[in-house]
Amino acid sequence: MSDVTISVNFLRWRRLMLELKRRGGGRRESGAFLLGLRDGQSLRVKDVVYYDDLDPNALDQGYVNFHADGFSALWSHCRKARLDVLADIHTHPGGNTSQSELDRTNPMMAERGHLALIVPHFAAGPWWSKRGISLFEYEANYRWKDLSGALPSRLCLTVF
């Protein structure tokens, strides 16, 4: 999975950045699942589901704390939409987008190849900027591969 690319329509990405910012209100982390279709190394995002829509208490602690009920809502949404969970994305308060101990030891999906994105400054930066966004790929046993260095070429904002 190391040559993986994620394609997202730029309008969907813009909406995602604005929603993460709005839901976090500049004072707490927020996040979402990116759903879509996978074709080998190429992932195409077709839908976004926000943590606090699936689990209304997910953001209450200031950091993401997603509960089991949220997962059943997620699976039922995926089934209806016929889409897979490709990645998750969440915000961090400052410029540090390395994984916290919690991020590392609590993968939202403990599945090989699952991707996790972290956006700096509660997503308050310009929506089109990929600067500071980190990308991790889950391997196994709480081990992740850091793909952040190649993020600009792995995250493709598309017009189609």
Q: Number of residues in contact with Zn ion, rule: CB under 5 A?
A: 2
By CB under 5 A, tell whether 100 contacts Zn ion: yes
Going 8 to 128 to 33 to 153, the CA torsion angle's sign is positive
- Choose which of 52, 55, 88, 103 interacts with Zn ion (CB under 5 A): 103
CA separation for the pair 16, 84 (Å, rounded): 18
Q: How far is the CB of 35 from Zn ion (least distance, A)?
A: 20
Exposed, middle or buried by CB within 10 Å (0-12, 13-18, 19+), for 143?
Answer: exposed
Kindly indicate which of the ranges 19-27, 73-81, 102-110, 127-135 contains the residues binding Zn ion, using the contact rule CB under 5 A. 102-110
For the record, the structure tokens of 88 come out as 């998750």
Q: Which residues pair with 43 in a beta bridge?
A: 6, 38
Kindly indicate which of the ranges 99-107, 127-135, 138-146, 149-157 contains the residues binding Zn ion, using the contact rule CB under 5 A. 99-107
CA separation for the pair 88, 137 (Å, rounded): 11
Kindly indicate which of the ranges 17-25, 30-38, 100-108, 125-133 contains the residues binding Zn ion, using the contact rule CB under 5 A. 100-108
The residue number whose beta carbon is nearest to Zn ion equals 103
- In the complex, the residues that contact Zn ion under the rule CB under 5 A are 100, 103
